[in-house]
């Protein structure tokens, strides 16, 4: 088990290096620091001096990979690649365009992101499983058929619509909850309620339809027939057997996204003014703050790989038939 | 009036895609085993109803892809000058909608502007809602407003009904003749649903669309049915123009995805070994980068490239078009991994099957084994992925445009409509029609696509047959 985990962790390193090289290529080779400076300072009417000044300010005035003017190991360390890309492995992200330390921002913004993402995940899971089980219980009836159609209808509505409609009706028209904002501690509860509600509702369509297929797949299996033959009631079969076994693919699907919860949701956070990592990313994209975008790419990839490793481990944990080697 | 045809890059690809689809249809029609699953699709009422709606959207999109530039009226005959505005055949068809521009916001079917202004009336200047230049301009008195709308809607509905009845009569006559029965017998079979194809749904959906279309055409000739936007442009026109953008993103992205997914997926599963390792490495790396960020990074790069080479584009439309194409490319590059993984798993299974082993033992080349034995057996997965991805891509466009890395801001798209109108909800009274129209159009297209995709998946996925 330990050897397996170790091997997976070692396997993660070349992937992170690949991500790092790709972002380096995208941000420094294809799109040179000169281009970035021009984009930031305005494409027209920009002097070469202004570009040079911008590059010095941001530390982009060094050679890309090899500094021939420097001595000794500084030939490699005094370069853009070493200082801006390789440094990420030590989680040193440098400063954003606003002069704030990115690493610091990430740690303070993880909390609010998690405050939204975690309740959405847990409540959404419960709601979707409930709907899926109901549809499976009434399978092959009109209730099931129209349930699926309703799911497809809900899926076909743009996520932006749920947010805008939720903000407009619940917050603006009926004044039930604040439109947007965030506060720490107990006061934050009323701010969290609306984004969580909207996100859960937005996810019902695709979630319950997917879980329904998982449960239906289980219900066709032999052990379910055996359970029915023993004389168990349908409800008991559903809860004791189908739900329990159907949870394996559902839970492992959840484990993959667990670490990514820290990243937050771009759109939800931006609409509801949550000071989390999602709105941080979106602000960085809109302000074309490349340092922050690069940091978020690295962080996202890192968390995704952590999720993959956790999934493999959880497989062996919930399903004893899976042996890791 | 003479004109110069303009062929944008996406137009070229759209018509290439259309040609490809037509060839595929011709090929499928000639092979019975390929036709069988499509027959199943054709028997599903929901799928067929959705296909009709999709057909209308596609027709509008195709008409909107035939671009041209009009000749300026005052240019000399020997040295013609062309307008910088790129129009399409669809624009020519709905010319009234395009040109009837108001001053600013006006509500759906309104005859007055949304905001009060100082207007001259009976020699005195009063603050009131000014009349629109075009919306309800034929009315002399405000009292006639309601009855006029009702009259136009009824006339439109009646016209739609008339066309619908005519078409239905022709269909019944043709079908009765084809099956050599009486029209009465055919009608009875139709009413009881015993025709072998979902004729009731098809006729009903068609009738609904005709009724809606009739009413819409009648109302649009005198009013702005969905109101006007901030610069006074007809929202119905913008929504209709956005159809092409949505379709382009939904289809051309898949066109980019397919070669990558099929090539890499099958190669990884079939050859295994180091090929598999390399391909798996590539798609784990691509997958691990958050999609939005990769798209954002690539779009920013494209933006820089476009802005530093302005001489390459002779019109704003050409520039926006290249950006749309770049967006499709980027979305394709970031979204092929899911299908590739699926195809890899399937090829891994297929390569161990007896007939593949036998082919290999006979010394058949890899290329031939893949094209004759592997690819035809994974094709249903490719098809299901195409139809399932379409709706997701249409929805993604809106989100990306909101983030600021979507289509060009000058391009008509539902994402841009939502983005532009989002903050207007805070106004008093609310400006809701722009958002409403964008969401209704997007919802209709995505719902139709989803229902059709469900039908296709149920017909093609072999696992589905045994479940029910």
A39 to B418: CB separation less than 8 angstroms, yes or no? no
Q: Is A146 on the interface with B (CB under 8 A)?
A: no
Chain A residue nearest residue B402, CA to CA:
A267
- Of A60-69, A199-208, B31-40, B321-330, the range with the lowest mean pLDDT is A60-69
Our CA-based measurement puts residue B462 at a distance from the nearest CA of chain A, in whole angstroms, of: 13
Omega of the bond prior to B429 within 30 degrees of 0, cis? yes
* Subunit contact A159:B391, Cβ cutoff 8 A: no
**Contact yes or no for B266/B343 (Cβ under 8 A):** yes
How high is the pLDDT of residue A132? Answer: 92
Is there a contact between B207 and B171 (Cβ–Cβ < 8 Å)? no
CB proximity list for B178: less than 8 A, separation 6 or greater: none
Tell me which residue in B292, B298, B450 faces A152 most closely, judged by beta carbons. Answer: B450
Q: Supply the mean pLDDT for chain A.
A: 82
ipTM: 0.84
**Option in A26, A152, A296 nearest B454 (CB):** A152
Cβ separation of B298 and A38 shorter than 8 Å?
A: no
Least confident of A65-69, A271-275, A297-301, B105-109: A65-69
- Tell me phi and psi for residue B19, to 5 degrees: -60, -45
Task: Check residue B331 and report its DSSP letter.
Answer: H
Q: Is the pLDDT of residue A53 over 50?
A: yes
The secondary structure of residue B412, as a DSSP letter, is -
Record: contact B288-A168, CB cut-off 8 A? no
What CA–CA distance (Å, rounded) separates B425 from B413? 19
pLDDT in the model for residue B51: 93
- SS3 of residue B86 by DSSP: strand
Do the Cβ atoms of A34 and A51 come closer than 8 Å? yes
A15 at interface of B, judged by CB pairs closer than 8 A: yes
Question: Where in chain B are the domains?
Answer: 139-221, 242-453
Question: How far B225 CA sits from the closest chain A CA (Å)?
Answer: 21
Chain A residues with CB inside 8 Å of B292's CB? 266, 281, 285
Chain A residue with minimum CA distance to B436: A161
Q: Which of A26, A43, A155 sits opposite B307 (nearest CB)?
A: A43
Give the full edge-to-edge strand order of the sheet including B67-71.
B3-6, B67-71, B82-88
Q: Is B4 helix (H, G, I), strand (E, B) or coil?
A: strand
B54, B288, B396: best to mutate for the A interface, most A CBs within 10 A: B288
Contact state of A31 with B292 under an 8 Å Cβ cutoff? no
For residue B39, give how far its alpha carbon lies from the nearest alpha carbon of chain A (Å): 21
DSSP secondary structure string, B62-75?
A: HHTT-EEEEEPTTS
- Per the CB < 8 A criterion, the answer to whether B343 and B265 are in contact is yes
Determine whether the interchain pair B391/A14 forms a contact, defined as Cβ–Cβ distance below 8 Å. no
Query: Which chain B residues have a beta carbon less than 8 Å from that of A15?
Result: 281, 284-285, 288
20-79 in chain A: CB under 8 A from chain B:
22-23, 26-27, 30-31, 35-36, 38-39, 43
Q: What is the pLDDT of residue A254?
A: 86
Under 8 Å CB pairs connecting chains A and B tally to 122
What is the predicted pLDDT for the residue at A73?
A: 67
Superfamily of segment(s) B242-453: MetI-like (1.10.3720.10)
- Mean pLDDT (whole number) for A204-222: 89
What is the model's pLDDT at position B467?
41
Distance CA A125, CA A122 (A): 5
DSSP state of B132: P
Nearest CB neighbour to A300, from listed B285, B290, B435: B290
pLDDT tens, per residue, chain B with 468 residues: 678 888 888 899 999 999 999 999 999 899 888 888 888 888 888 889 999 999 999 999 999 998 888 888 777 777 778 888 888 888 888 888 888 888 888 888 888 787 777 777 777 787 878 788 887 777 777 788 888 888 889 999 999 999 999 999 898 888 888 888 888 888 888 888 777 788 888 889 999 999 999 999 888 888 888 888 888 888 999 999 999 999 999 999 988 899 999 999 999 999 888 999 999 899 888 888 888 888 888 887 788 778 777 777 778 888 888 889 999 998 998 888 889 989 998 998 888 889 888 998 998 999 999 998 899 888 888 888 888 889 889 998 888 888 888 888 888 999 898 888 877 777 777 788 888 999 999 999 999 999 999 888 888 876 654 443
Task: Please tell me which residue of chain A has the smallest CA distance to B288.
Answer: A301
Residue A282 in contact with partner chain B when CB distance is under 8 A: yes
Quick one: pLDDT at residue A153? 93
CA distance A305 to chain B (A): 7
Query: Closest residue of B to A145, CA-based?
Result: B46
Kindly identify which residue of chain A lies nearest to residue B429, measuring between CA atoms: A173
- pLDDT value of position B163: 92
Sign of CA dihedral A258, A263, A267, A268: positive
């Amino acid at each position: 088990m330990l050897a397996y985990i170790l091997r997976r962790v070692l396997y993660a390193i070349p992937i992170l290096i690949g991500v790092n090289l790709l972002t380096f290529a995208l941000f420094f080779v294809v799109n040179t620091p000169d281009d970035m400076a021009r984009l930031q300072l305005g494409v027209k009417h920009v002097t070469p001096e202004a570009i040079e000044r911008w590059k010095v300010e941001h530390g982009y005035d060094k050679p890309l990979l090899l500094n021939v003017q420097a001595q000794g190991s500084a030939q490699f360390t005094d370069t853009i690649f070493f200082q801006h890309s390789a440094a990420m492995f030590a989680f040193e992200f440098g400063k954003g365009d606003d002069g704030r330390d990115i690493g610091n921002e990430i740690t303070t913004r993880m909390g609010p992101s998690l405050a939204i993402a975690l309740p959405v995940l847990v409540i959404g899971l419960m709601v979707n499983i409930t709907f899926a089980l109901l549809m499976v219980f009434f399978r092959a009836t009109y209730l099931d058929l129209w349930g699926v159609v309703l799911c497809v209808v809900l899926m076909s509505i743009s996520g932006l619509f749920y947010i805008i409609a939720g903000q407009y009706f619940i917050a603006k028209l009926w004044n039930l909850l604040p439109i947007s904002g965030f506060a720490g501690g107990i006061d934050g509860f009323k701010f969290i309620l609306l984004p969580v509600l909207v996100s859960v509702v937005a996810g019902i369509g695709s979630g319950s339809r997917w879980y329904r297929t998982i449960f239906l797949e289980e219900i066709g299996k032999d052990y379910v027939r055996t359970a029915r033959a023993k004389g168990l009631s349908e409800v008991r079969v559903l809860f004791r057997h189908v739900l329990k076994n159907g949870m394996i693919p559902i839970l492992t699907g959840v484990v993959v996204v667990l670490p990514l919860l820290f990243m937050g949701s771009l759109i939800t956070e931006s609409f509801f003014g949550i000071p989390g990592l999602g709105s941080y990313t979106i602000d960085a994209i809109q302000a074309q703050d490349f340092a922050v975008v690069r940091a978020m790419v690295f962080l996202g990839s890192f968390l995704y790989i952590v999720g993959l490793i956790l999934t493999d481990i959880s497989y062996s944990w919930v399903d004893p038939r899976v042996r890791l080697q | 009036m003479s004109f110069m045809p303009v062929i944008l890059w996406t137009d070229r690809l759209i018509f290439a895609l259309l040609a490809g689809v037509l060839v595929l249809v011709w090929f499928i029609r000639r092979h019975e085993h390929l036709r069988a699953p499509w027959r199943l699709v054709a028997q599903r009422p929901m799928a067929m109803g959705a296909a009709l709606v999709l057909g209308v959207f596609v027709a509008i999109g195709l008409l909107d892809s035939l671009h041209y530039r009009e000749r300026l009226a005052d240019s000399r005959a020997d040295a013609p000058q062309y307008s910088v505005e790129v129009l399409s055949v669809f624009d020519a068809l709905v010319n009234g909608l395009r040109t009837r521009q108001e001053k600013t916001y006006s509500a759906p079917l309104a005859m007055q502007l949304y905001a009060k202004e100082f207007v001259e009336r009976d020699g005195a200047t009063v603050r009131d809602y000014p009349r629109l230049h075009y919306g309800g301009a034929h009315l002399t008195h405000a009292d006639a407003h309601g009855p006029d709308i009702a009259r136009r809607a009824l006339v439109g509905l009646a016209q739609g009904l008339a066309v619908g009845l005519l078409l239905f009569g022709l269909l019944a006559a043709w079908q009765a003749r084809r099956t050599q029965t009486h029209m009465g017998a055919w009608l009875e079979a139709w009413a009881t649903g015993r025709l072998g194809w979902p004729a009731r749904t098809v006729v009903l959906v068609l009738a609904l669309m005709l009724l809606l279309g009739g009413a819409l055409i009648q109302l649009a000739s005198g009013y702005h049915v969905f109101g006007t936007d901030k610069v006074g442009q007809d929202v119905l026109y913008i929504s209709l123009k956005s159809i092409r953008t949505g379709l382009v993103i939904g289809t051309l992205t898949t066109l980019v995805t397919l070669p990558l997914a099929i090539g890499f997926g099958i190669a990884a599963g079939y050859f295994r070994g180091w090929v598999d390792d390399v391909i798996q490495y590539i798609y784990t790396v691509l997958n691990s980068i958050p999609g939005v960020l990769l798209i954002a990074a690539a779009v920013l790069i494209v933006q820089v490239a476009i802005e530093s080479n302005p001489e390459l584009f002779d019109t704003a439309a050409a520039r926006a078009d290249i950006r749309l194409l770049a967006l499709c490319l980027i979305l394709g590059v970031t979204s092929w991994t899911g299908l590739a993984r699926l195809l890899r798993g399937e090829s891994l299974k297929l390569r161990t099957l007896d007939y593949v082993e036998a082919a290999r033992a006979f010394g058949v080349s890899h290329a031939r084994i893949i094209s004759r034995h592997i690819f035809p057996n994974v094709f249903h997965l490719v098809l299901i992925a195409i139809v399932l991805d379409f709706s997701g891509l249409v929805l993604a466009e809106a989100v990306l445009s909101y983030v600021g890395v979507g289509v060009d801001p000058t391009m008509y798209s539902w994402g841009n409509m939502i983005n532009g109108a989002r903050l207007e909800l805070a106004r008093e009274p609310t400006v809701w029609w722009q958002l409403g129209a964008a969401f209704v159009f997007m919802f209709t297209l995505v719902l139709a696509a989803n229902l059709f995709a469900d039908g296709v998946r149920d017909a093609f996925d072999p696992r589905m047959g045994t479940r029910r």
